[in-house]
Every structure is written in structure tokens, then in C-alpha cells.
Amino acid sequence: MKDNQAKIIKEETVFDNHFKIKKATLQITNPNGEWSEEMERMNFERGDSVAAVIYIQDKDEYLFTRQFRYPTYQTDNGWILELVAGSVEEGEEPIETLKREIMEEAGFETDEPVHLSTFFVSPGGTSERIHLYLCNTSSDRQKEQGGGAEEENEHIELVFLSKEDVKRRLAAQEFNDAKTLIGLLQTIK
């Protein structure tokens, strides 16, 4: 593999309202080692996120959230079954975010999270990385109702599925959220 390089000539924020979109003028080295012509690229700046495969050991169940996701509304019905997840806030470590999100969305305390992987969601258009964890817990460790942060207008339904139901749904291709698929494929045996 060659030593590929890139240089940012100019970068500006062209949208800044909850999310940011940056536009860059840049050059990269071609496979022959020469610099390319200048090109423009856009970056949907999301920052890092966390997600948790939550396994409830005493019930042999997995915990999911079901919530409305506007960007999926036109091609699906907008309601997505997915892992507990959230954005890492400035100054926060991913583990802090993970614990906060699990409590807000599901109301559970868990064992120490086990890191599974960190991956880019869609590197052709966004900088978002997800830090994915496995979190074991038990049914008696639900300390709050969950359902999401009211001030964020989250309306989260908790969905508990047996390991066998998760396997069946995976085989039937019923999960359509990337982080959820990656997490389940890494943990379901």
C-alpha cells in the first residue's frame, strides 16, 4: 500500500443548526503518487456516538429501543428497532455517555461495558464514529422507567426480545439499522 496523503486547502462550515455540515476544498495523492486536481467534499459533522447491545442475563433477552427516526420515514415507516445509543457530548468520554444513555433510554444499570468495536457510520459523507459496547445486566437492575429524555422530545418504547427471536429476526433481515446489525452479528451466537 502506498503512502497516501491529503491536504485541506480550505474548509468552512456551511450549515450549523444542531448538526454541522462542512465543505472542504482539498487534494489527495493519486495511486501514481501525484497530487489530484482540487476537489470539493462535504462532511456531515456528527462527532462520536455510542451504542450498547444490552443483554439481560436472567431472562436470556436483549433490550432494544423503538423510536421514530424522521430520515427513514420516506422509505420505511420511520419507526426503527435499534440499540440504545446516543451522541458523545463535548468533554464527555464514550463510557460516560454510554451509561447516561442507558439510564435515560432504558433505566438500567449494567456490568462494566465491554468494547466490541469502533466504526464509521458512512465515511463517504459523515465523520460520525460509533463506539459499540456489550452491556450485561439483569431484570432487577432496572432503576428507572427509561423512555428517553423528555427535554429532547424522545418517545422511546422499550422492546425486550428473546435470544431466539433476535436470531429469527436476523435471519429474516428484519433489522435495518447498521449499528444494531453490527452489534448483533458480533454478539449473537
Binding-site residue ranges for Mg(2+): 85, 101, 105, 154
Report the DSSP pairing between strands 19-28 and 84-87.
Answer: unpaired
88 close to 97: Cβ distance less than 8 angstroms: yes
Burial of 85 (0-12, 13-18, 19+ CB in 10 A): buried
C-alpha–C-alpha distance, residues 113 and 101, integer Å: 13
- For the beta carbon of residue 155, count every other beta carbon within 10 angstroms: 11
- 134, three cell numbers: 456489550
Nearest one of 148, 142, 158 to 109, comparing CA atoms: 142
Binding-site residue ranges: 85, 101, 105, 154
One-letter amino acid of 117: S
Q: What do you get for the CA distance between the two ends of the chain, in Å?
A: 35
